[in-house]
Structure 1
Amino acid sequence: MFATLPVFLRVTLACLFLLGNTVLHVVPLLLLTLVRMVLPVPALRRGVGSASVWIAESWLSFNGWLWGAFTRTRWTVEGVDHLSPRENYLVVCNHQSWIDIPALQKIFNRRIPFMRFFLKSQLIWVPLLGPAWWALDFPFMKRHSREELERRPELRSTDRDATRRACEKFRHVPVAIMNFTEGTRFTPAKHDAQGSPYRHLLRPKAGGVAFVVDAMGDAIRNMLDVTIVYPDGAGSMMDMIAGRIREIRIHVRQLAIPEGMRGDYENDTAFRERFQAWINQLWTEKDERIAAMLAKPA
């Protein structure tokens, strides 16, 4: 609809639409959250929480419409036809670009439960978005430098404890928990610095996945292994609106979380090695899948 407009006008209008859509949805979302905080009956609080999720899904739906209206990006998506909004999922994905998050929200919105991400604690101060993430029960994690951890080893458990608190809350509602297992976006410099054994991926960090699987217990039995590639190269959202990202390819496969993959990752050496071997195997398969997806003609 707007994709034929000059780039400057297209980017300006898209930003205004995004801002207006965010304000339109975040304001009632925060008001509902205040109501939920003062309600004395748990069942009523859960009802208000469901209404908050409905608002968030409406927010994402409009954003998804915007990507279609303002861009000519072609979406090639496999594996989303047999998902359920009533089933809990752990979603793991490689991390290429800031576009990854809105892309995943677009393909999964209302196909699976509303996705929650583990966010850096500093992001709670992002105008509008930070309070909205807080209102939607996104877990905020504190990151500590190596020097801090050496001075105060007890801080090593803070992320684990935050994960357990969040997962305890998630056990009572349909949820999809998102994890970018590499921990950061892929760049050639990071790849070389790590000495990564994969061609298209950074080394996976298995600990975060292990903590979620253990904390959720039987409440989460399925994993969505998501692979995302940009044949023209990863870029920014402005690159996408400006027409420089012509195609996004996404592959989704549903896997049952194997028996024996719930345990004490931190203290059980044998379990930790077994869990890491499982994640490393998934990453080997993902690396091969990325190569195949990139090799397909446009």
Structure 2
Amino acid sequence: MPSMFSIVAELLRVGLSSVAIALNTVLHATPLLLLALCKPLVWPALRRRITGVLNALAHRWIAVNSWLIEHLVGTRIRVQGGEDLQRNGWYLVVCNHQSWVDIPVLQQVFNTRIPLLKFFLKRQLIWVPVLGLAWWALDFPFMRRYSRAQLEKHPEWRGKDLEATQRACEKFRDLPVSIMNFVEGTRFTPTKHALQQSPYRHLLLPRAGGTAFVLQAMGPMLQALVDVSVVYPAGRPTLYGLLAGRVREVRVHIRTRPIPADLLSGDYQNDAAFRARFQDWLNGLWQDKDARLQDLQRD
């Protein structure tokens, strides 16, 4: 049982880390939002320059957060692979998903090594204080997902997801970008794993539709797939656990893979043969990733 001293020390660490990260967020978000408000008012060439400055501010915000996590919290991230990555490339990044801690870990690992990671976000997240507006300013795509029941009730909504993805990806043609996709669609838990009857030991079933939409929308722009596997040797952490210093080590494996050319231009929604071929390719990636996660846990 932890002593009173260790409990107080942990609470102080969480408080100090939270305040420092919050101040860093406000410090960088303020000029970021002011610049973003100017973007619609200027000509395209200057707009692209402003976008570059906004991305630079985001890289700096991530760098300071990463320093705080490393020095105030003491988390060590061990990275294998990724030596061939370039800061001026266009990438699709896929990763297993276990915790909200995945996001600061990935940001720290890839900051300035590849273009700024941009996530497809649920539309409701734009209302998150400060961060929602920052994501909007940085052109993070906000998506409205339709359930099967909604589509059955409103068949005219079919294809809207793909149209929204294509509109979002149009913004990424001028500057290099890294599109981040958690292919499982939700965080791994033993309960979800059992309910899905997943054939993988450490993964939920991959959801191919979102990945296919990105490839359809961005097509030849994407240079490679960055396949990332993340393991927490002490078990799946929480953000509180990270800030409390309980996450002592994270293991990350990076593998750069080519994207098959025949998967860049098919119609995932309406072509059954293409859909089966795409799912086979993604399931093959997931089998490899499951074996890699097993190896990483044994290291």
Indicate whether 1:228 and 2:244 are aligned: no
Indicate whether 1:288 and 2:295 are aligned: no
Structure 2 distance, partners of 1:281, 1:129, is: 36
Structure 2 distance, partners of 1:10, 1:21, is: 16
Read off the aligned partner of 2:168 and give its amino acid letter.
A
Please report how far the alpha carbon of residue 153 of structure 1 lies from its aligned counterpart in structure 2 after TM superposition.
Answer: 2.2
Structure 2: which 5+ runs fail to align? 1-7
- Equivalent residues of 2:48, 2:174 under 8 A apart: no
Once the two structures are superposed, residues 49-95 of structure 1 have per-residue CA deviations (whole angstroms, 9 ceiling, x without a partner) of 11111111110000010111112222111113221111111000010
Q: Match of 1:14?
A: 17
Q: Which of 172, 175, 179 is the equivalent residue of 2:174? A: 172
Read off the aligned partner of 1:158 and give its amino acid letter.
K
- Comparing 69-78 with 246-255, greater Cα deviation is found at 69-78
- Equivalent residues of 2:115, 2:178 under 8 A apart: yes
Structure 2 distance, partners of 1:32, 1:131, is: 12
User: TM-score by structure 1 length?
Assistant: 0.95
Taking every aligned residue pair, what percent have the same amino acid on both sides? Answer: 54
Computed over aligned residues only, the root mean square deviation of the Cα atoms, in angstroms, reads 1.4
Taking the TM superposition and a 5 Å limit, the aligned residue runs for 1:243-262 are 243-262=245-264
The SS at the match of 2:31 is helix
Taking the TM superposition and a 5 Å limit, the aligned residue runs for 1:175-254 are 175-254=177-256
The SS at the match of 2:263 is coil
User: TM-score by structure 2 length?
Assistant: 0.95
Once the two structures are superposed, residues 252-283 of structure 1 have per-residue CA deviations (whole angstroms, 9 ceiling, x without a partner) of 00011112112111111111111100000000
The SS at the match of 2:170 is helix
Once the two structures are superposed, residues 144-175 of structure 1 have per-residue CA deviations (whole angstroms, 9 ceiling, x without a partner) of 34432221123232221111111122122100
Once the two structures are superposed, residues 208-257 of structure 1 have per-residue CA deviations (whole angstroms, 9 ceiling, x without a partner) of 11111121121112010000011111111210121222210100000111
The SS at the match of 1:224 is strand
Q: Match of 2:37?
A: 34
Q: Match of 1:107?
A: 109
Structure 1 distance, partners of 2:288, 2:65, is: 32
Q: Match of 2:4?
A: none
Instruction: Give the total of aligned pairs.
Output: 292
The SS at the match of 2:255 is strand
Taking the TM superposition and a 5 Å limit, the aligned residue runs for 1:61-210 are 61-210=63-212
Please report how far the alpha carbon of residue 195 of structure 1 lies from its aligned counterpart in structure 2 after TM superposition.
Answer: 1.1
The SS at the match of 1:6 is helix
Q: Match of 1:55?
A: 57
Structure 1 distance, partners of 2:268, 2:38, is: 38
Q: Match of 2:3?
A: none
Read off the aligned partner of 2:232 and give its amino acid letter.
Y
Structure 1 distance, partners of 2:180, 2:130, is: 21
Structure 2 distance, partners of 1:145, 1:46, is: 35
Structure 2 distance, partners of 1:155, 1:103, is: 36
Structure 2 distance, partners of 1:261, 1:174, is: 21
Structure 2 distance, partners of 1:6, 1:77, is: 29
Structure 1: which 5+ runs fail to align? none
- Equivalent residues of 2:17, 2:73 under 8 A apart: no
Structure 2 distance, partners of 1:291, 1:284, is: 11
